[in-house]
Amino acid sequence: MSNKLIEVKNLKKYFNTPMGNLHAVDDVSVSIDRGKTLGVVGESGCGKSTLGKTIIRLHEPTEGEVLFKGENIFDYSKKDMKKLRSSIQIIFQDPYSSLNPRMTVSRLIAEPLISNKIYKSKREMEDRIKSLMETVGLSGRLYNAYPHELDGGRRQRIGIARALAMNPDFIICDEPVSALDVSIQAQILNLLMDLQEELELTYLFITHDLSVVKHISDEILVMYLGQSVEKAPYKELFDNPIHPYTKALLGSIPKPILGERGKIRNTIKGEIFTPINPASGCRFAKRCDYAKEKCYVEDPVFIEVSENHFVACHI
Amino acid sequence: MREKLLEIRDLKVIYKTDEETVEAVNNIDLDLYKGESLGIVGETGAGKTTTALSIIRLLPYRVAKILSGEIIFNEQNLLELSEKDMRKIRGNNISMIFQDPMSSLNPVLTVEDQIAEVLRLHMDYGKEMIKKRVKEVLQLVGIPHDRMFEYPHQFSGGMKQRVGIAIALACDPDLLIADEPTTALDVTIQAQVLNMIDELQSRLKTSMILITHDLGVVAQTCDNVAIMYAGEIVESGTAKDIFEGERHHPYTEGLFGSIPNLDIDEKRLNPIQGVMPEPSMLPSGCRFHPRCPHCMDICIAESPQSKSFDGHHIKCHLFL
Ligand SMILES: Nc1ncnc2c1ncn2[C@@H]1O[C@H](COP(=O)(O)OP(=O)(O)OP(=O)(O)O)[C@@H](O)[C@H]1O
Ligand SMILES: Nc1ncnc2c1ncn2[C@@H]1O[C@H](COP(=O)(O)OP(=O)(O)OP(=O)(O)O)[C@@H](O)[C@H]1O
Ligand SMILES: [Mg+2]
Ligand SMILES: [Mg+2]
């Protein structure tokens, strides 16, 4: 039996814009095994959030399938979807605007429990909220506090407690630590890894931070302008990147040491390809140092070059 | 000769709400010279944004109070200026990249109109020149110009942040305050933005205050660094002092220790133990003592003075 919890097949999401059709997610296929983490990285605007939101139908897909435990969730009725929403949760990028400022911490965590009518007695509900707060490291004193009184790290913990409330199997984390400083970031990442082990959670972990993704992921998917360009186990990707975009990405991480100062940063040069009505050919070609004629005309195919290492590149 | 552009003396800012008083910034001093950049680093809630908003005078006026201090910019105390004079300085002389990109974008204007509006207000440009410049700055932050007719909600998180950056850089400020300008950006776009800032600095001698939690970015861009903890500057000095100096505040050491290391393959990370104190109930003595691995009796009793080692300031009993 396959251990795949979720399988995304040829997923597309296009948006209408004044200038034409915007290909935000363009034919992405991935799967994640139960209890594992797939990290998704890529340039800002390449479609990471859209991928996450389309997988749980916060956006309706343009094309493709998402199989959750073997069933295509795009065939689900509204009622089925509602049930599914408890097994799949999302933690949003921004701990500032994703929480209702008029609700207390306990009310925010209780919300999914109330709307799914999980507990009949108030007592049981309170116990559950308290134990969730303990799990994510929020002191019980904050039971009646409001989000604006808390810093970013504590707010993000509320988001995690909310996501855990319904005992999900699968959590989509959209940049859950990007807005946090390194110390709090480390605390939250450790928490997410502990919870994964304890509860056998499966994560789709979106981030632009390569050091974060390396720590938390089993496999890493690199996206560029709506498409998958490379996917490999985390160690393989860092040790042996193949796609020129992945290489550029790994090469531009600023290190916390002096000596890099004053040097011109290596940026990817060349014209940016627009995701609106994209022409055929590799979307990175115009910025790629190795581009050949073929790259401008023919779409590269996403192929397996060594075990579990996939790349879409003509070179 | 270094020429001073900005001088903050003894700044103290509180937030007063119905239930509590938050001591957000506590008697800090900062200096910034022309053409140089200062990095401000510290945990969430340390008071970095509050410091920045005090300079540009955009604190939420109902709850925030400046209790003491002066902020001298080009020989004027900004805290004494009228709102009318301050408005002239904002945008013309001082511009700010805000931490929350949506707060600086107008949801009902297209991206083109937002940038054009700022140029029209602050630069002496004709219509054609404005059009050209809008395309140019968008290109610089990596947004293709066929997207300029869209509205902010159609942009991704990082794209909104980049529009904010384009706006702040478009009108050639003397002082740029960048509050976590690249948190939502991947490293390649970040490199592009940092190059843009470098270019601005070498062309116009623009000074910059860069607030960030990314020590890698600080290492690459800042001449001087201030480390903030619970509303105080616990360590400050040149980039060399902070990155290569022998002595450090234990909090600074903790910060460096929490950075995920790409070169070694380990999964657990090492955060500083404990959490930032509740800002309305700050601990006695040194504010870092409950989390400090070197805590001594005196640290609980007394707040340390700052000690200078050739301009490298450390506020810790270990060095007194
Ligand atoms: N509601 C929308 N309407 C129109 N276009 C959209 C919408 N949401 C996203 N897009 C576009 O889809 C593309 C992908 O956006 P998405 O938010 O998925 O990027 P991302 O990879 O998450 O980027 P970031 O790292 O900056 O958050 C972008 O070009 C964006 O402008
Ligand atoms: N409008 C407000 N009302 C009450 N307290 C506030 C307000 N704004 C900020 N604070 C508090 O003041 C303290 C300093 O906040 P500030 O935003 O300056 O921190 P910061 O260092 O910028 O943190 P971050 O890294 O999270 O942006 C925090 O404890 C915060 O909770
Ligand atoms: Mg996103
Ligand atoms: Mg801030």
Query: Which of 129-158 (B) contact A at CB < 8 A?
Result: 139, 142-144, 146-147, 149-150, 154-158
- CA angle, residues A192, A238, A258, in degrees to nearest 5: 90
Closest residue in A to B220 (Cα) is: A261
Rounded Cα gap, residues B180 and B97, in angstroms: 8
Strand partners, B227: B41, B235
Report how far residue A308's alpha carbon sits from residue B3's, in angstroms, rounded to the nearest whole number: 58
**For chain B, how big is the Rg over CA atoms in Å?**
20
DSSP for residue A142: G
Residues forming beta bridges with residue B49, ordered by sequence position: none
Percent of chain A with pLDDT over 90: 57
Query: pLDDT averaged over chain A?
Result: 89
pLDDT at A267 over 90: no
Q: In angstroms, what separates the C-alpha of B134 from chain A's closest C-alpha?
A: 16
What does DSSP say about strands A71-72 and A63-68: parallel, antiparallel, or unpaired?
Answer: antiparallel
**CB-count exposure of residue B250 (10 Å: 0-12, 13-18, 19+):** buried
Alpha helices in chain A (DSSP H): 48-55, 78-87, 105-115, 122-135, 152-164, 182-199, 210-216, 234-239, 244-251, 293-297
From CA A99, how far away is CA A155, in angstroms rounded? 8
The pLDDT-based confidence of B85 (bands split at 50, 70, 90) is very high
d(CA A157, CA A123): 23
Question: Containing H/E element for A221?
Answer: strand A219-224
Place of tokens 């300029």: B148
* Residues framing ligand 2 (Cβ under 6 A): A 151-152, 181; B 15, 17, 22, 24, 42, 44-50, 60, 63, 99, 279
Query: CA angle at residue A13 from A8 to A16, to 5 degrees?
Result: 175
* C-alpha separations of B302 from B78, B202, B284, B319 in Å: 33, 44, 7, 14
Q: How many CB atoms lie within 10 A of CB B18?
A: 5
Specify the residue with its C-alpha closest to ligand 1, atom 22: A49
Give the tokens for residue A76: 């689900």
Residue A52 lies in a domain: yes
Are the beta carbons of B162 and B142 closer than 8 angstroms? Answer: yes
Q: Which one of B220, B222, B227, B264 makes the best mutation probe of the A interface by having the most chain A beta carbons within 10 Å? A: B220
- Per DSSP, B109 falls in state S
A40 lines ligand 1 (CB under 6 A): no
Judged against a pLDDT cut of 60, whether residue A1 lies above it is answered with: no
Smallest Cα–Cα separation from B24: which of B65, B58, B56?
B65
Does some domain include residue A64? yes
Segment B301-317, tens digit of pLDDT: 999 999 999 999 999 99
Q: Alpha-carbon distance A307 to A235, whole Å?
A: 13
| Contact (Cβ atoms closer than 8 angstroms) between residue A84 and residue A76 | yes
A63 belongs to a structural domain: yes
Closest ligand 1 atom to residue B160 Cα is: 26
For A7-18, what is the mean pLDDT? 94
pLDDT tens across A93-121, in order? Answer: 776 677 888 999 999 999 988 888 888 88
Tokens of A295: 């790259």
- What is the tally of structural domains in chain A? 1
Q: Is A35 exposed, middle or buried (0-12, 13-18, 19+ CB in 10 A)?
A: middle
Q: Is the Cβ–Cβ distance between A219 and A232 less than 8 Å?
A: yes
Phi-psi region of A70 (alpha: psi -120 to 50; beta: other; left: phi over 0): left
- Residue A266 sits in which domain range? 4-87+168-312
Give the pLDDT band (50/70/90) at residue B251. very high
- Residues facing residue B285 across a β-bridge: none
Q: How far is CA A263 from CA B198, B211, B219, in A?
A: 10, 21, 12
Q: Is residue A57 part of a domain?
A: yes
| pLDDT value, residue B265 | 65
Q: Please indicate whether, in this complex, the C-beta atoms of A153 and B218 are within 8 angstroms of each other.
A: no
Give the model's pLDDT for residue B175: 96
Report the nearest-CA residue for atom 3 of ligand 1: B154
Instruction: Work out the mean pLDDT of chain B and round it to a whole number.
Output: 90
The CA–CA distances, whole Å, from A159 to A133, A144, B248 equal 11, 16, 35
pLDDT at A2: 64
Residue B263 in this model has a pLDDT that exceeds 80: no
Cα Rg, chain A, nearest whole Å: 21
Residue A210 lies in a domain: yes
Say if A106 falls within a structural domain. Answer: no
Residue A158 lies in a domain: no
B50 C-alpha to ligand 4 centroid (Å): 7
pLDDT band at B271 (very low <50, low <70, confident <90, very high): confident
Mutate to test the interface with B, among A104, A181, A221 (most CBs of B within 10 A): A181
pLDDT tens, position by position, A121-148: 889 999 999 999 988 888 888 899 888 7
Tokens encoding B68: 């003491």
Interface subset of B 243-272, CB within 8 angstroms of A = 243-244, 254-256, 258-262, 265, 267-272
Which residues in chain B are contacts of A254 at CB distance < 8 A? 187, 190-191, 214, 216-217, 219-220
Mark yes or no for CB contact B260/A151 under 8 Å. no
For the stretch A56-62, contacts whose Cβ atoms lie closer than 8 Å and that sit 24 or more positions apart, written own/partner, are A56/A85, A56/A88, A56/A90, A56/A172, A57/A81, A58/A90, A59/A13, A61/A11, A61/A12, A61/A13, A62/A12, A62/A13, A62/A14
Task: Please check whether residue A20 lies inside any domain of the structure.
Answer: yes
Query: Is A50:A59 a contact under the CB 8 Å cutoff?
Result: yes
**Which ligand 2 atom is at minimum distance from the Cα of A181?**
25
Here the CATH number for the domain that contains residue A230 is: 3.40.50.300
Task: Retrieve residue B211's tokens.
Answer: 């607030």
**A295/B152 Cα distance (integer angstroms):** 32
Cα-based angle B11, B17, B19 (whole degrees, multiple of 5) = 125
